[in-house]
Structure 1
Amino acid sequence: MLTWWYHEPLEVKIANQCAPVLAGVKPSNMLVLENKHIRDVVRVLEGTGLSWRCLYAGEEKNIWLLYRKEAMEETVLGKEQMLFLREWGYEEDTLERMLMKFSQRFRQYRKDKNLPFPHEMGVFLGYPMADVKGFIKYEGKNYLYCGYWKVYENVEERKELFRTYEEIRKVFVEEARKGKNLWQITMEWQYVSA
């Protein structure tokens, strides 16, 4: 166990895992936190413009989905994404209903690893469809590059995107370590990048 990580402030942990979402350049991200933080997540995220859903409450850690609702709707309700999700059994027509179904499937998978992996996760995380489909086709192997996800097409474009994500992550973590609230960092970022 990484003891330094365990003692980092909650704001730093969230910034480290979800800065691109906080900055508004990625629609969503997974957040893994120790159970001791379950009540503080809502308080810390207030004012950031993010929505959240606890996907899985484990014995030691919880897995959250943090997202920007409008960006997530734009991503998930796209034509190619909807066709893909329909193939995976999603007949729902609203983001909220789709997230309820995804949460249920994710929880079931976490409890029983014999169930199929919920590959639709990549769609909900805003990954390019080529990479989602490549991951399924090659069973997570034969990828061309691995960064924030496994890349199967457009490597240079993805590398540039990952560099942007990493730069944002460094800024958000540094500011959080200085004691700033996530909403302050988010507002400052939006002001500077506008």
Structure 2
Amino acid sequence: MTDTLARHALILGGARSGKTRAALDWAESLGPNRVYIATAEAGDPEMAARIARHRAERGPGWRTLEAATDLAGALAQVGEVSDADERAHAAAPEGRADAVMVDCLTLWLSNLFGAGRDPEAEAEALIATLASARVPTLLVSNEIGMGLVPDTPLGRSFRDAQGRLNQRIAAAVGHVVFVAAGLPLRMKGEGRYFP
């Protein structure tokens, strides 16, 4: 693992486990200028309301990028902004990113399935981008393999792809945290980037 990858983290948990809140708190501890990369799309009124609620909960200090499928591109964009701001920080401190949070890899994977994109190739591109990203990046993902086996081939295929994605990201980053009932459990990593 490179020193760059060591600063990134995967935050796992089930639905309503508190994983997003844990990641938000962690990102906020890293500095006042944060980027939230949203993978959700407002496909119906309930989802639109959920997205609005999440946006309101984040509060000030967050800049939002939307990346339904091009997550590597969005992360690269944050890196380019941060590199430029390193040179001109005094002139434009609001553009500098202290932390990036991706919420969430599960919706991103679902979007890839819907778009007919290759999840393995997209995961490879994501990891390559993380390897060059200097801003600590917190990636939120669902642990969906602890429940019932889905009864459809598509459901089983998605569950398997989610498990493989989580394993690849967990192996690549320096920190992994599992959240259950709002309580974070450190699975991998230690040091100053861990809350």
**Structure 1 length normalisation: TM-score?**
0.33
Higher helix share: 1
**Larger relative CO (CA 8 A, sep 6+): 1 or 2?**
2
**Structure 2 length normalisation: TM-score?**
0.33
